[in-house]
Amino acid sequence: MKEIQKIEYPGFSYQDGGVCAARGFRANGLYSGIKKNPTKKPDLCLVVSDVPCRAAGVFTQNKVQAAPVTVSKQHLAQTGGTAQAFLLNSKNANACNADGVEKSEEMCRLAAERLGILVQQVLIAQTGVIGQTMPIEPIVQNIDALCEGLSESGNEKAATAIMTTDTVKKEAAVSFELGGKICHVGGMGKGSGMICPNMATTLNVITTDCAITTEMLQKALRDVVKVTYNCLYIDGDQSTNDTCAVLANGLAENPEIVSEGVAFETFERALYIVMSNLTKMLAKDGEGATKLLECTVTGGKTWEDALAIAKSVIASDLLKCAMFGEDANWGRILCAIGYAPAEFTLEHVAVTLASSGGSVRVCENGAGVPFSEDAAKRVLEADEIQIQVTLADSKATATAWGCDLTYEYVKINGDYRT
């Protein structure tokens, strides 16, 4: 069961359609043969807006940056934050290749030419094996078909095309009202392995028909990434290709959001709903994962302290294994809290394990308390586990997401290149 339990938010309605939920966006995905594959899973996709968009992006902080990251950053800088198309592929990361930038730029040029827009209006993201020469022929041969097949229902094909070791596609979208107009935010993401929160993670495309300035769009993206993707931890490996970009085409015709205020907050909320749902989908479908883990820390001195503790718990390989084994080994939670780079008072720490199977308090005042192993087993049998850490230092709260560590993770990554 890789479907996540969605939380309902008043004033926002979940929609189908992913990156095509917002007006004026079309998408397509197809198999181009970047790497020969008998299943012919799509490996190339394109998301296009009918009109130019305001665009914002966050990218990997890894010092080893893949060519598409370099090219997308350049294009955003050259246009001052606009774009009309987003080209993505799986099966090749185009990282650590001597001719990488040239190839990524050529891919953008092929798409721009066919769409009749400037090359700088095309963003690009790529994922797959690092350090293998990117073949350009599959793109040359398939760019016409890719563009011709663009449609308002192409979101599923696009979401499938960016999957690597993902076992399910990841899409989310909501509608909401702004100034009497119906607006939409939708998105797709790919995740699985090499995922660690640091300013951006994985490939993610967000589209919206909201009217908003580039400056406010960039601010909203930064704010929301901080509490969603950056709170996700699969394996601590930060990719060379992490990219999250949002395109806003303004076709909802709401009064343009030009500053902070109620409308901006509503837009941020919508972005948060889409991106937090995608984050949970990424966590639940982490490489080899059988369970979504969510650690919420309350009562922290600062948000940074609370988040550091939540991330430390979620990142513990030992705890991840214990959760896979459905073993309520709470000592490992306390241990991970202890080495978090955070301030807290140990004597105030309480820990509860919860899920659809119930709730069990395992630790109070920094020490273990008796609990029923049977009740704990019922909690841990579920496929979404909450680890609730209560401090009594102040009022800050933070949540981090991750998954269990399993045989399958080792198997997948023992021989990824072949």
Least distance CB 220 / its own copies (angstroms): 26
Q: Is 346 in the site for its own copies (CB under 8 A)?
A: yes
- Which residues in 98-127 contact its own copies (CB under 8 A)? 98
Closest CA relative to residue 185, chosen from 363, 17, 58, 407: 17
What are the percentages of helix, strand and coil residues in the chain, rounded to 5? 35, 25, 40
Q: Which is nearer to its own copies, 48 or 289 (CB)?
A: 289
Among 111, 158, 363, 391, binds its own copies (CB under 8 A): 363
Residue from 164, 201, 208, 243 carrying the catalytic annotation: 201
Task: Report CA-CA distances (Å) from 266 to 9, 42, 55, 183, 261.
Answer: 11, 35, 19, 10, 9
Residue 382 near its own copies by CB under 8 A: no
Q: Specify the residue, 42 or 193, whose C-beta has the smaller distance to its own copies.
A: 193
Identify the residue among 24, 149, 179, 331 touching its own copies (CB under 8 A).
331
Q: Tell which one of 130, 158, 278, 293 touches its own copies (CB under 8 A).
A: 130
347 near its own copies (CB under 8 A): no
Q: Is 201 a catalytic residue?
A: yes
Residue 374 or 415 with smaller CB distance to its own copies: 415
According to DSSP, the β-strands at 44-59 and 82-89 are antiparallel
- Strand, helix or coil for residue 67: helix
State how far the Cα of 411 lies from the Cα of 408, in Å rounded to an integer: 5
# of chain residues touching its own copies (CB under 8 A) = 62
Residue 392 three-state SS:
coil
Indicate which single residue of 9, 33, 70, 96 sits in contact with its own copies (rule: CB under 8 A).
Answer: 96
Query: 204 pairs with which residues across the strands?
Result: 189, 244
- Tell me the closest approach of the beta carbon of residue 191 to its own copies, in angstroms: 14
| Contacts of 289 by beta carbon, 8 Å cutoff, 6+ apart | 234, 283, 403, 404, 406, 408, 409
Q: Which residues contact 30 (CB under 8 A, 6 or more apart)?
A: 42, 43, 44, 45, 142, 145, 146, 149, 157, 161
Asked if 24 interacts with its own copies (CB under 8 A), we say no
Question: What distance lies between CA 304 and its chain's CA centroid?
Answer: 21
Residue 89 binds its own copies (CB under 8 A): no
Tokens in use for 266?
């509503």
CA-based nearest residue to 327, from 388, 367, 380: 380
Stretch of 78-86, 143-151, 172-180, 360-368 lying at the interface with its own copies (CB under 8 A)? 360-368
The interface mask with its own copies, positions 27-66, x = CB under 8 A, is: ----------------------------------xxxxx-
Q: Which stretch binds its own copies (CB under 8 A): 19-27, 103-111, 128-136, 261-269?
A: 128-136
The one-letter code for the residue type at 67 is: A
By annotation, the residues acting in catalysis are: 201
Residues lying near its own copies in the complex (CB under 8 A) are found at: 61-65, 93, 95-98, 129-132, 193-194, 196, 198, 235-240, 315-318, 321-322, 324-325, 327, 329-332, 334-339, 344, 346, 363, 366-368, 405-407, 409-418
